[in-house]
Amino acid sequence: MTIPSGKAVTYLGTYGSWYKVSYGGKTGYVSSQYVKVSTTTTPTTSTGTGRTIVIDAGHGGNDPGAVYGSTYEKVIAFDIAARLASTLSNTYGYNARMTRTNDVYLSLAQRVELTKSYKGSAFVSLHANSSTNTSYHGHEVLVPTGESYTTNPYISASRSLGASINRELGARIPTIRNRGVKYQNVYVVGKNSVPSTLVEYGFISNANDRSHLTSTTYRQRMADATASGIHQFMSTYK
């Protein structure tokens, strides 16, 4: 749609060089070069109380992640991440920040550093799995181990966050096997400084999982389930 020059819009968030705004009952993105921000407010009617959730779309740029034919993990992860950001912001009132807002490469250290610069309250990294064994299937959530590798001071909270997301995925998408919560040494989780977890939404190498991962309907369900899990955790985490 076209917004006439000089019209006021409602500011909902910033994503890279884009502003998320609402106008005329619709929500969308406008290049920041066309918008002048007169006031900056935090949602007051929301349950998220404006706390920042950092959403990390795995891989990107010259790092495609797992690939199966024309199906790329980096594309799946980014699409779910954008949907998750929208749900967290519009439904729950969080300040959702994405580590990448387009198809660019970020190092693992950069993703962790962005969590600090965004002053995040929680961090969730989104991925899709793959295996040479096409019978492997299901979603799983990775949380920090108690080994010396982990420097994240929020091990227990990270596990609670992961368990909450896992429960919602299992309940809302029963057509994908629930592989559960797993303790693993993952850089963006173990080296972060806030409650952190990594979600693997399914195996792109498995036909059933791939049919879900390439479906916009199921990607939205994945995003909504993840948002609900995050919110349930944040509601009890201070």
CATH number at residue 209: 3.40.630.40
Least confident of 16-25, 69-78, 116-125, 218-227: 16-25
- 35 and 51 co-located in one domain: no
Q: Is the pLDDT of residue 44 over 60?
A: no
- 14 and 121 co-located in one domain: no
- 115 and 141 co-located in one domain: yes
Q: What is the pLDDT of residues 194-238, one digit of tens each?
A: 999 999 999 999 999 999 999 999 999 999 999 999 999 999 987
Q: What is the pLDDT of residues 132-148, one digit of tens each?
A: 999 999 999 999 999 99
Reported pTM: 0.80
Calculate the alpha carbon distances from 51 to 1, 27, 56, 81, 92 in Å: 30, 21, 16, 17, 10
Closest CA to 42 of 70, 9, 12, 21: 12
Percent residues over pLDDT 70 in the chain: 91
- 90 and 7 co-located in one domain: no
- 29 and 124 co-located in one domain: no
> CB 24: neighbour CB atoms within 10 A?
9
Domain range enclosing 70: 44-236
Note whether 104 and 60 are within 8 A (CB): yes
- 33 and 50 co-located in one domain: no
- 73 and 117 co-located in one domain: yes
- 49 and 107 co-located in one domain: yes
Q: Is the pLDDT of residue 46 over 80?
A: no
- 144 and 206 co-located in one domain: yes
Per-residue pLDDT averaged across 35-41, rounded?
52
Residue 29: pLDDT band (50, 70, 90) is confident
- 143 and 32 co-located in one domain: no
Of residues 154 and 29, the one with the higher pLDDT is: 154
pLDDT of residue 2: 84
Note whether 53 and 88 are within 8 A (CB): yes
- 85 and 138 co-located in one domain: yes
- 92 and 198 co-located in one domain: yes
In the chain, the number of structural domains is 2
